[in-house]
Chain A
């Protein structure tokens, strides 16, 4: 059992931040790695990226968006409650080196996944420009953290309620037009955002890494649920990823595979709303 020792709700309760006791994982985890958790005995195994770790206090940070049954159930957990199983660290860590100028683009809860990666690029000596976006001001997360983790933070909202009025990709385009020294773009967010972003950076010829989030089960390379097509080849996202060269990914297949259980997810959610479990 893994005890929750801190809880914060963000973005009008659509996003939740836990600090959970998992000393062994906290000691080993590197930026870009994730855990798989099972909330309780009847629960599904779901992957969540570690938004940070504190080896000294033996905790890991999980920041998740409430999208369905498991995440809705997790949101009902309070400080002192325990998560049944947490397995990690999983996946390959982000390959961080000093490249020069790096742009980190995060959309939605992708910002949470992006935060430790952004920090790592800054610590490696890069000039880091971060762009974060949300639909509206109240849904924006981790602004202060991202400001501290980068040299230059740009904020966008789709409805113009805060920062730049428009999409993260608008701001990215402006920067790419202005500066020719950008060595790498890292894009993490909803699949349509990553797809569109990669189409753009390809035109500029700038290398782009994305972090993929297919459906997973074991996350140890045993089942193949997480198959993604990258460069025409099948990869297992949980062990070969989760980060891949964004210009090579088959996003349309990824979206279809993510939707494989929409009907069942609806049943689960309805049951949860009706019975509270």
Chain B
């Protein structure tokens, strides 16, 4: 190709993933995007400049060889692309779907300077799905057995990643999970229409095939303490997540029909209440639903409510659009499906009827003042701006805290003043000998990929410790 031809070649725009029509999908729980076809994936892959010093990698917490896997897609070696991904990331089908790419890899992509960045997440998802659905998942070689035993508490992305790394290094690994299904937030929190549970199950099955033992129904701190685990295991990793719901602490919050996001999503996802009565767990099907908060959790709750038959779903958020913490794609999908946004609005009390059911919420309008500690402009109530909104169901999705159940049962484990476990950011080591921690229980609610990164660092540190023990 001559220079001239190169210039004339029409520029390939960022390829969209085919997805369900908003009107249709707002009524079902099937996954929203269908994913790339091989043709679309190769077209998108052709947009990558194969940079010598790829900026995109700087934005990926686990430093995936991004041009490397994209090149393999371009060459049509999709399984090879998946293997390349798995060198650094054990859960690519999940990260390709849920990573906030716009703040990570894609934010740094050079193509993004003038045009839209290369759709790294969509390509990652494509390669991983190809490998899984074509049955081409290979089992890597395991190091010879070291005879060392590691207990992992919690089966979220942090625990799963750590387990996968340590089993390959030849250690014996057992995961203890409190719930009856492994996966953490990936199974109880993130809805089916965004992350099909079969994908999480496939990842867990893969770990089990590698030899990881998964014991559900074990609430550590109750059935076994960390000290008891330490008598049997050479090291313990705590990947407990941030499993404590936060409430608004306003009058009327215990009316029926008012859920924490954790309860609402757990009922729908883990317990499959959206399939009631084939599944026994009930869930309120509100007509007018109010959702408080504007993160991924709030978007997931709002979109679940729509799918459960709500006529109006309102996101009520005390700051403005710019401060909304959700992934752009989630906000966009929610708006397309008909979720309404009440920004700069804060609830002050709930209203209810004689049966104790919620009937409405009184709100105040807010304006933005000076930036606060988090760097976001502080919302200030406007005096006399009270107004009431009708609602027969509400979901409080304003964040999570540290569940004290295990930490407070574990002497010698240092916690910070908000109850999170103190751990070295590079190694995951806690103040208690033989105990590591990582993921949301250390950082507070963050992302899947950061939890995985923490699991990987702790795995390296535990490996080093076990080999020198």
Chain A residues in the interface with B (C-beta under 8 A): 24-25, 28, 38, 42-45, 69-70, 84-90, 217-218, 220-225, 227, 229, 234, 239, 253, 256-257, 259-261, 264-265, 267-268, 271
Q: Closest Cβ of chain B: how far from A20's Cβ, in Å?
A: 13
User: Which chain B positions have C-beta within 8 A of A222?
Assistant: 243-245, 262, 266, 403
Known: A25-B223, A217-B271, A253-B356. A43 touches B280 (CB 8 A): yes
User: Which chain A positions have C-beta within 8 A of B368?
Assistant: none
User: Which chain A positions have C-beta within 8 A of B247?
Assistant: 224, 234
Name the one of B216, B245, B277 contacting A223, with C-beta atoms under 8 angstroms: B245
Known: A86-B217, A234-B247, A261-B282. A224 touches B263 (CB 8 A): yes
- What 7 pairs between A and B have smallest CB-CB spacing? A256-B356, A264-B282, A223-B263, A44-B280, A260-B256, A222-B243, A224-B260
- Judge whether A38 and B266 touch: CB under 8 Å: no
Q: Closest Cβ of chain A: how far from B57's Cβ, in Å?
A: 36
- Judge whether A253 and B254 touch: CB under 8 Å: yes
- Judge whether A259 and B277 touch: CB under 8 Å: no
Known: A224-B263, A257-B256. A44 touches B405 (CB 8 A): no
Known: A28-B222, A221-B244, A222-B266. A85 touches B280 (CB 8 A): no
Tell me whether B219 is interfacial, beta carbon within 8 Å. yes
Name the one of B267, B272, B404 contacting A221, with C-beta atoms under 8 angstroms: B404
A43–B280 Cα distance when bound, in Å, is 5
The B interface is mostly helix, strand or loop, or mixed, namely loop
Q: How many A-B residue pairs have CB under 8 A?
A: 112
Known: A220-B178, A234-B254. A44 touches B216 (CB 8 A): no
Name the one of A44, A69, A224 contacting B262, with C-beta atoms under 8 angstroms: A224
> What are 6 A-B contacts with C-beta separation under 8 Å?
A220-B243, A222-B244, A223-B245, A223-B262, A234-B253, A261-B282
User: Which chain A positions have C-beta within 8 A of B179?
Assistant: 218
User: Which chain B positions have C-beta within 8 A of A253?
Assistant: 254, 356
A125–B179 Cα distance when bound, in Å, is 38
Tell me whether B156 is interfacial, beta carbon within 8 Å. no
Q: Which of B140-160 contact A (CB under 8 A)?
A: none
Q: Which of B253-282 contact A (CB under 8 A)?
A: 253-254, 256-257, 259-260, 262-263, 266-267, 271-272, 276-282
Tell me whether B40 is interfacial, beta carbon within 8 Å. no
A271–B355 Cα distance when bound, in Å, is 26
User: Which chain A positions have C-beta within 8 A of B321?
Assistant: none
